[in-house]
Amino acid sequence: MNLVTIPRASTPTLSASTVNYGDSVTINTNRLSTDFTHNMWASFSGEAVTIGNAYTTSATWTVPLTMMNKIPNATSSFCTIYVDTYSGGTFIGTKTVVLNITVPSTIVPTISTKTHAEAVDGLFANIGGYVQSLSKIRATLVGAGSYGSTITGYEITIDGKTYGGSDVTSDVITSSGSSTITYKITDSRGRTETGTNAITILAYAQPNLTSFSVVRKVGATTT
């Protein structure tokens, strides 16, 4: 007695359970018949992403970097890969497999502008540089997120003191010589980027009285 063949949808497996955005993963169909072909697509944050059609034993898919725009506040997520099985033109069924995806460590916010200037009116014009015990430095910072992230924090460190904000004015500078202003931004994924500007501070100390003497003069006589 010959039994009727019952077609069964292919059960997909992945070459890796976790990959970075921008990396590739192989989807193995594990088909039960050489007559089977497969159409594949992925569902990610409510959006359908086409992988391709008419695959036989496997497909290699590169996860689009643009998918990171859907997770501006996270460093990882997952997508469901759908494998539709066909025998000739007849649809057999669909099975799925889940792929975990992570944001590469290279995806960080960017600093576009970092400036510094004398904040004490007239001081730089008269002396031509930052001056110890006299200067205050105004520093500004402009940054941008990457693939959907937004900037959530700004920090600027001047003369060893850290100030929060993208436009800050330091206290009076107490050091002299070579110094570094450090700029830091943090995005909504918790990723950071830093930049620096090197400056020179002229040594200066306010004049002070170290000793004095007093004499009394009466007429032509000094005592």
Judge whether residue 8 has pLDDT over 80: yes
124, 166 in Cβ contact below 8 A?
no
Q: What whole-number distance in Å separates Cα of residue 57 and Cα of residue 153?
A: 48
Measured in whole angstroms, the distance separating CA 18 from the mean position of its chain's CA atoms is: 21
pLDDT computed for residue 81 by the predictor: 98
36 DSSP β-pair partners: 87
3-state secondary structure 66-126: HHHHHCCCCCEEEEEEEEEEEECCEEEEEEEEEEEEECCCCCCCEEEEEEEEECCCCHHHH
Judge whether residue 223 has pLDDT over 60: no
Beta sheet of 130-131, edge-to-edge order: 130-131, 192-202, 177-187, 151-158, 161-164
Digit-coded pLDDT (tens) for 110-167? 999 999 999 999 998 899 999 999 999 999 999 999 999 999 999 999 999 999 999 9
On average, the pLDDT of the chain sits at: 94
- Residue 195 burial by Cβ neighbours in a 10 Å radius (0-12, 13-18, 19+): middle
Digit-coded pLDDT (tens) for 165-182? 999 999 999 999 999 999
Cα angle for residues 174, 180, 184 (degrees, 5° grid)? 115
Confidence of residue 205 (pLDDT cuts 50, 70, 90): confident
- Rounded mean pLDDT of 62-79? 97
Whole-model pTM? 0.85
Confidence of residue 43 (pLDDT cuts 50, 70, 90): very high
